[in-house]
Amino acid sequence: MKKIVIGLAAVVLLCLSVAARAEWPDKPIRILVPFPSGNSSDVSMRLLGQKLSVRLGQPIVVENRVGAGGTVGTGQAAKAAPDGYTLAMGSTGPLAIARALRPDSLPYDTARDFMVVGAVAWAPQVLVVRKDLPISSFQEFLAYGRRPDVKLNYGSPGNGTTPHLVIAQLVNETRINAEHIPFQGGTQALTSLIGGQIDFISDNVPVVQGAIAGGRVRALAVTSGTRIPSMESVPTLKELGVKDFDLQGWILLIAPKGLPETISSKLVAAVEDVMKMPDVRQRLLELGLVPMDMPRARLPGFLQSEATKWAAVVKVSGAAESTR
C-alpha cells in the first residue's frame, strides 16, 4: 500500500509540474498588425507589445500582414487558434467599416470570429481647410458651403476610408455643397489641399498636425466628442453646433473568439495595467492618439455597437455602392 501511495504522489507531482510548465504563456506571442510598419497604429502595437512582454514574461513579436485595407491581416488573425499565442491589432476600417462596405467578400465575420481583450487608443480626426478659403470660422465655413453659387470639394485617402466617411457624415448633417475626391492616400490629399486643388479634408492628427503648425492649412474642428489633448485650442464639432457628432477611429487588441477564460482574463488585466502606465499614455498622445479608457464590461459589446454605427455612416456616404 505504501508503494501505491508513493506512486500516486509521484504521478500527482508530475501532473502538477506539467501543468505549471503549460500555464499560459509558456512561449512567444505574436501580434498581427494589418497595416505597414511605422505608422501610429503600428507604433502603438509595438509599444503595447514591449510592455506586455515584461508583464507576461514572454517575448512578443509584432508581424505586419498588409493588404486590402487591413482585411488580409485581420483575416489571418481570424483563422488562428484561440490559444492566446496569436493576437491582432483591431481597428475601425477592417472590423467596422469593411463589414458594411463588402460583407460578402470578407474572409471573416467580426462578431463571430473576434473578441476584444484590450482597449488601446482613440484616433480622432481634425477638420482642416486650405489657408486661402474665404472664411475665418466654422460657422462661416458652413455659410459659405451652403451658398448656391459655391461647390466645395474635399479629399480623402480613398473611397470608404474613415476620413471619407467622417466628412460624408458631416456634409449630410450640415447640408453644405461638397463633392468627394478620393486620392491614393492621406498624404496626397493633404498635398492637394496645401496646393489649393481641394478645399478641405479631415484626417488623423499625425497626418495634419505639421501642416497646421506650419500655417499651411487651418484647423476648424475635431471630430471626436471631446477635445484632443494635443490640440486643446481646437473645438469639437459638437461644441460648434453639429449635434452629437462624434466619429473617430480606434485601436484595440483582439484575439480569435474562443479564447479560454483563464487566458482572456489574464490578458485583459495585463492590458489594463499597461494602459495605466504614464509613459505609455504620454507616448500615445505624442503619436496623435488618445488613450482609450474603457470599462471592462464594455469590451464584449464594443465591436457590434461600432459596426452598427459605422454601417449607418457608410449608408449615408454611398461608399458601398461605389465599391461594387
Decide if 238 contacts 192 (C-beta within 8 A): no
CA dist 94 and 100 (Å) reads 10
Instruction: Name the band, by pLDDT with cuts 50, 70 and 90, for residue 10.
Output: very low
User: Mean pLDDT across the stretch 76-90?
Assistant: 98
Q: Is the pLDDT of residue 179 over 70?
A: yes
The more confidently predicted of residues 132 and 10 is 132
Instruction: Name the band, by pLDDT with cuts 50, 70 and 90, for residue 22.
Output: low
Q: For the chain, what is the mean pLDDT? A: 92
pLDDT at 170: 98
Q: Three cell numbers at 206?
A: 499625425
Q: Is 217 helix (H, G, I), strand (E, B) or coil?
A: strand
Q: What percent of the chain has pLDDT over 70?
A: 92
Measured in degrees and rounded to the nearest 5, phi and psi for residue 193 equal -65, -45
pTM more than 0.85:
yes
ω before 278 within 30° of 0 (cis)?
no
Condensed to tens digits (0 to 9), the pLDDT of residues 305-317 reads 999 999 999 999 9
Angle between helices 278-286 and 40-56 (to 10 degrees): 170
Q: Is the pLDDT of residue 69 over 70?
A: yes
> Quick one: the chain helix, strand, coil %, rounded to 5?
50, 20, 30
Q: Is the pLDDT of residue 63 over 60?
A: yes
Q: Is the pLDDT of residue 287 over 70?
A: yes
Identify which of 157, 88, 118, 123 has the alpha carbon closest to the alpha carbon of residue 287.
123
CA dist 283 and 230 (Å) reads 12
Domains identified in the chain and CATH numbers: 27-122+249-323 (3.40.190.150), 125-231 (3.40.190.10)
- H helix count then E strand count, the chain: 14, 11
Q: Is the pLDDT of residue 20 over 90?
A: no
The more confidently predicted of residues 161 and 12 is 161
Instruction: Name the band, by pLDDT with cuts 50, 70 and 90, for residue 105.
Output: confident
CA dist 319 and 290 (Å) reads 27
Segment (H or E) for 291: strand 290-291
Q: Three cell numbers at 254?
A: 483582439
pLDDT at 17: 36
State how far Cα 203 lies from the chain centre.
Answer: 13
Instruction: Name the band, by pLDDT with cuts 50, 70 and 90, for residue 96.
Output: very high
Instruction: Name the band, by pLDDT with cuts 50, 70 and 90, for residue 220.
Output: very high
User: Mean pLDDT across the stretch 159-170?
Assistant: 97
Q: Is 205 helix (H, G, I), strand (E, B) or coil?
A: helix
Q: Is 42 helix (H, G, I), strand (E, B) or coil?
A: helix
Instruction: Name the band, by pLDDT with cuts 50, 70 and 90, for residue 104.
Output: confident
Angle at the Cα of 122 from the Cα atoms of 197 and 307, rounded to 5 degrees: 90
> In the sheet that 290-291 helps form, which strands lie side by side, from edge to edge?
60-64, 29-33, 86-91, 249-256, 114-123, 290-291
CA dist 97 and 165 (Å) reads 9
pLDDT at 223: 97
User: Could you tell me if residue 60 is left (phi over 0), alpha (psi between -120 and 50 degrees) or otherwise beta?
Assistant: beta
Residue in this structure with the C-alpha cell 495634419, named with its chain if needed: 208
